[in-house]
Structure formats: structure tokens, C-alpha cells
Chains A and B, each alone.
Chain A
Amino acid sequence: MAEQIDALVAAAIHDAKNALMALDTQLGEIERRPASADFAAARATTSRIAGQLAELLTLYRAQGGQLRLAIDDHDLHDFIDDLLTELGPLPAGITLDVERSAAATLGSWAFDAYLVKLALLDALRNALRQARAHVTLTLQAAPQGGICFEVADDGPGFPAAILGGENAASTQGTGLGLSFARLIAERHATPAGKHGHVALANRPGASFTLTLP
């Protein structure tokens, strides 16, 4: 795991450096034209870097045996509301459909809202970047018990190597998010021994599913 984290640290630093440069440009634009769309872009950039650093920190703590999940009941409808608020405005030309009718029947579910929110925000940002026009977020009861969140887009789909199970720390952004999502899915467990998991598929756009027990 240590080597993998080293690679992720390098990729995250690289990404953060580029993001800070983009942020600098965006801030420059805001200075020139205060009420510009760059403002939203700048905020999106800062929350993306903050999210990635938080993910990295979590992986680092897990490696040191210091990560303990804080599992508590959360109302699923409210949780998705919070998620969308934090996601902020969508990129121009992309729509996001949210299917959460299952929240009404499920009510609340026990999970670590802070970590799951980080993972889903990352997946959503990724999908919004890759999508041609359309992203969907779906909440469902999992057939074997548990709940699943699916984030799907109509973009080119995951590269074959990632579908094959590589974490691909070097490919832009996805490596860290995926490692993080897999870690926290696995750490969500029940006393009966069930664990969460992450599933990836192309149908044909990328589909990311986080299942929690």
C-alpha cells in the first residue's frame, strides 16, 4: 500500500500544482471582470483540490492504522441535497439527473456521511468532466441488502486498464478518487461481515457504483 500511496501523492501534488495555476488564471480574470463565470470556476477548483487532499489524508491515515469510520444514521434525501449543494453549479452544456425515489422508502441509512460524500463528489466531478451532455446520479436499494449510489455519464467510458482493475495513479485525477472510494467502501462493514464495494462498467459511458452494506 505504501508504494501505491507514494504514487498517489505524486499524482495529487502534480494535479494540485496545475489546479493552483488554473486558479491563479481564474482569479486574474475575476479581478478584471468581478461578476464573471470565473468566480464559480475558481470555487470549483478550490473545492476539488481540498477534496483530493482530504482523500489523500484519509488514505494516509488508513495506512497508519488510524482511520476509523464514523457510522451514523443519515437521511438519504437530505444527504443527496447536501451533496448537490456542495457540488455547486454544473459546467455549461451538461445536465445532471438525480433519481432518488428510493430515499423515500429507505429513509435513513447508517454510513460515514463525510467520507461517502467525498467519494461521490469526486465521482460526480469526474463524470461531469467526461460527459458529452448528460450525467445521472441514482440511489437504489441494493439487491443483496444495502444501498448503492451510481454515477453514470455519456462520455467515452473508462479506459480498459482501469476497468481491468488498475488504479492508474498517473491518469488524470481518477487514480486517487478510485483508491479512496475502494478503501472507504471496504471499510463500511456490518457486524454480520458484509462489506461495501465499488463497481465500474462502461455502458457505454462510464458507470461508477458505490455499494454500502
Chain B
Amino acid sequence: MDLRDKVGLLIDDMPEMRSAMRIQLTDAGLEKCDQARSIKEAIDRLKEKRYDLIVCDYNLGQGADGQQLLELVRRKQILPLSTAFMIVTGETGYEQVSTAAEYAPDDYLLKPFTADLLGTRLGRILDKKAALAPIYSQMGEKGDRTKALVACEALLANGGRYTLDVLRLKGELLTTLGRNEEALALYENVLQQRSTPWAEVGKARLLSLLGKDEEATAHLQRTLTAYPNYLAAYDSLAHLVGKTDKAAAQQIVEQALKVAPSTQRQRHLGGLALENKDFERAESAYRRAVEKDRTGFFKSHDDYSGLAKSCVEQGKTIEALTAVKDMGSAFARTPELEARQAAVECQVHVKSGNEAAAKLALEKALKVQQSAKLDASSALEIAQACFAGGRAEEAKAIIQSVAEDHHENDEVLAKAQGVFAQAGMEDEGTVFLEATKKRMFKLNNDAVAMAKAGQLDQAIEMLTEAADRLTNNAQIAINTAMALLMHVHRNGADLAQTKRAHAYILQAQRANASHPRLAEISGLYRKVAPAGAPPLEDV
């Protein structure tokens, strides 16, 4: 692999290391290479330009590291899968880097190394990226997972050295598309030949998706005995065990944190400790999340909110209010921030018995809520404040709209259930959320039935009303587009209707880029869209 026509980005906070590394990269043949001194610079560069490869030091200063940066940019889709990411580390950092998490670097290199070795290793990962490019190109935000699977099949048919990598991607794709039995069979096939951590964890995830939680738990426990450094196994196990036993889940996250520190895991630990009423541990976990990350890129509103709650539960009102204030200086001013601060402040005042101040804060939170469309976490925080402030009906109304908007998103629904639990209404919450889910299923089913019965206009009316209200609900947006396209198909080319369908498909993409039905609706769009209709790029 010739590095001369490749474009690289070097990320390191130490100027002398950066220039030494730059010389080695040039010696290895990489001539075009930008540099970034910090997380902020790295993210700015990645947003404005497409790179072939990133070389990033593990230790980035200010409590930040290359692994967390990688997770952040892959999760936010700032860094496409086709870009190679290499982490460079000293020998002492190698255990932390080599702990494969959900987002692992393509390679890591231990210092010191020669320019020759650097060149060889970069060449290898770029060769692999090039071979797998047909799959990656369909795995991005606007990719078509079904086409990615076709690309997997083509590569598997050719055999070759990347077979195992292709199988790994194929397993992930099948899982995303909800083809659970096929995905499980794939992992079991791989495991018949060899044991490898990703296939063990993949198998466990599928067992759980197929309703076999006990088997999945036992499998993950065995996996961790063999691969105690494999973070993805801790994360899956904590998630699985946490469904029924928060105390056990807390222990698992504690273990994962011993393997490798991360702000996200501190937050997870804090949340579990709060639920377990282990307020001291919750406070220390959130405090670490807040204090360790001095870049501000990895912490979230949740960390300050959790810190405030764990403090006030221990009677530390001043510390709790300080956390609320600090939240304001750590993040950009947005309606979400304002809502969060007011809602958490209200809860702190309720706990410490300051009714007047609590009332004032709650009014403020509700005012923000009425004037802006908030994200799910902020809205649920306000709901929690409403419960605390004795306004249960408003709390339920907020939770209902959040749950309708995210009825396929288990994470949001679990958060909503947590709000009920905090208010001591666990059973009522379960019933309430179950009913909401059922209502959403019914709405979708009714619309489909109406459309089939020929009442297409009524179906469209019902669905567009819901889709315009519930902009985060991919399912509804897809069904709305479906009904509109059926209308076009039946009644002849109608550019206005087609454009509306187009907009709803984009809405579904924004809500959930890996929704299993996106491929189907995009296919239908291409089939029936008349000339002059907006194209669906890359879908």
C-alpha cells in the first residue's frame, strides 16, 4: 500500500512528540498529514475534511484519551468506518488500549517503534479498509444495510484473508436488521472453528435478543473468565444483568472500570449506584466523570444532574446546588441545559425542604419545556421534577409524549421507567408504558389496515398527524411515507405527495439510521417516484 496519495491526521497534545511522529510518518511515506493538538481541534478537522487515516496518541491530556475520542467520533458518525484509526501508546498504556470495546481502533502500536514498522502497520490497515470498503460504504448514516450484506456475501464468496473480518461485520449487520436466527447461526459457526471474543459476545447478545437471558448471562460470564480484558463483554453483561439485578450490574461496571477508565462507564456506574441507593458511590463516580474530563467533550448534563442528586440524598444541599451551577458553566447555553438545571434544582430543593424555591424552579423548567422541543433526557428530567413537586399529571403527560416519540427505543423507555421508579410508582409506570407501546402498535396497525381496505386518505391523515408530532419515531415516519407512496402508486404520478414521502423517509433516517425497514421503504420510493422527484442519495 502506497501512503503517498493518502491523507492523514496526527493527534497528539505534546508538541515535541508531534514533530517526532510527523517525521516518522513522512519517513513511512505519508506526506499529506494535518495535525491536531487537542480533542477540539481533532473534531473540527474531522468535521471539515475526509481522512484516510488517523494516528492518535493514547494520552491526550486534560483527562482525555484516544479511545474515548474514537468512541465519540464513531458514535456521532463524524468518523466514517472507512477511515483507519491507529492508537499509539507507551508500553504501560497497552492494556488499556487493547481492551476491545464496542469501538476498537483498527490497530495500536507500542512506543518506541521504527518508521518502517509504522509504515508496514499503516499499510496493512489501509489494505484491509480498501478490501472492506464495499461493506463500509453501506454502513454509514445513509447506507443501506441490505446492500452491505450483499457486499459481505460477495467478499465471502471470494474467500481471502479478510474472511473473519467480513463475518464479523456480517454478524453485526444481521443483528441490526433483526435477522436474529441467521446472526446466531453465523456466530455459532465461527465459534465451531475457534474461540474469539467478538463472536462469543455476539452470540450472547443474540441469545438475549431471542429471549434466552439466562443462557446469555452464563455465556458472558464464561467469556469474561477467558477474556478478562474484553470491555464489550462487561458492557453487555452489565446491561443484561441490570434488567433484573441493579446491584449485580453495579459490580460488573466496577470491574470494567478497573480494566479501563471511561467517562461513559463512570456515568453508567453513577446511575446504577443511584438506583441502588448507594449514594456515596454514586457521588464519587459522577464526581470523577465531571472532574476527570477537563475537555468537556465526554461528560454530559447527566453527570452533573446525577452528582446533584447523589449529594442531596446525603444531605449535602450546598454541594448539590453547586453541581447544578457547575452544569451551567460546563456546557453551551441551550434550552436543554436551562431545562435540566431548573428541573434538577427543583428536585434538590424538594429534598432539602425548600418548597418555595422548588416551586419557582419547577415553573421555570416547565416554561422552557413549553417553548422548545427538548430531547428525551431533558424532558424526562422535567417529568421527574414534576413528580417531586407534586404535579403527577403533568409528569405523566410529558412521559407519555416522550414514550410515544421513542416507542421502539428501549433505552429511553428504561429511563422513563426509572422516573416512575424514583417517584415510587414502579408498577404504575410499567402499566403506563406498556399501554403507550400498545397504543403505538395499534396506531400503526390500524393505519396499515385502513390503507389495505382502500381508505388510503384516512390512513395518510392519521399517520401524518402522528408523524408531525412524533419526529423521533422512525416507525411512524416510515409508515407515513409508505402510505403516501401507495397513494402515488395507485393514483398516478403526484409530485407533491412524492416530495412529502421523501421528507418522511429523511425524518426516519434522522430518527434511526439503522431501522430495519429503511431499506424497504427506500426501495419502494425508487420504484414509484416519478421523474422530477428528489433523489434519495446513498440510500
Chain A residues with a Cβ under 8 A of chain B: 54, 68-73, 75, 77-78, 81-82, 85, 104, 107-110, 112, 114, 145, 189-192, 194, 213
Closest to B197 in A: A71
If A68-B95, A71-B197, A114-B110 touch, does A107 touch B226 (CB 8 Å cutoff)? no
B130 contacts chain A at the CB level, 8 A cutoff:
no
Cβ contact of B98, chosen from A70, A85, A191, cutoff 8 A:
A70
B196 close to A73 (CB less than 8 A): yes
Check if B99 sits within 8 Å of A189, measured CB to CB.
no
A191 touches B222 (CB 8 A): yes
Q: Please, how many angstroms separate the alpha-carbon atoms of A194 and B194 in the complex? A: 11
Question: When the two chains form their complex, are residues B94 and A71 in contact, meaning their CB atoms are under 8 A apart?
Answer: no
Q: How far is the CA of A110 from the CA of B194 in the complex (A)?
A: 8
Interface residues on B, range: 20 to 34
Between A54, A85, A110, A194, the greatest number of chain B beta carbons within 10 A of the residue's beta carbon is seen for A110
Do residues B117 and A85 form an inter-chain contact, with CB atoms below 8 A? yes
Q: Which residues of A contact B225 (CB under 8 A)?
A: 189, 191
Chain B residues closer than 8 Å to A194, beta-carbon distance: 195
B533 interfacial by beta-carbon distance below 8 Å? no
Decide yes or no whether B517 CB sits under 8 A from chain A. Answer: no
The residue on B at minimum CB distance from A54 is B91
Q: Which residues of B contact A70 (CB under 8 A)?
A: 94-95, 98-99, 229
User: Is residue B510 contacting chain A, with contact meaning CB distance below 8 A?
Assistant: no
Partner of A190, one of B100, B226, B228, B229: B226
Which B176-202 residues have a C-beta within 8 angstroms of A? 194-198, 200
Whether B100 contacts A72 by the Cβ 8 Å rule is yes
Residue in A73, A77, A109, A145 whose Cβ sees the most chain B Cβ within 10 Å: A73
Q: Does B227 contact A (CB under 8 A)?
A: yes
Which residues of the other chain, B, contact A109 by a CB distance below 8 angstroms? 194, 196
Q: Is B351 part of the contact surface with A, judged by Cβ < 8 Å? A: no
Residue pair B164, A73 in contact (C-beta under 8 Å): yes
C-alpha spacing A81/B196, complex, angstroms: 22
From B98, B124, B195, contact of A110 by CB (8 A) = B195
B223 in the interface (beta carbon within 8 A):
yes
Q: How far is the CA of A112 from the CA of B95 in the complex (A)?
A: 10
Bits for B12-50, please: 1 = Cβ < 8 Å to A, else 0: 000000000000000000000000000000000000000
CB distance from B204 to the nearest CB of A (A): 10
Chain A residue at minimal CB-CB distance from B160: A107
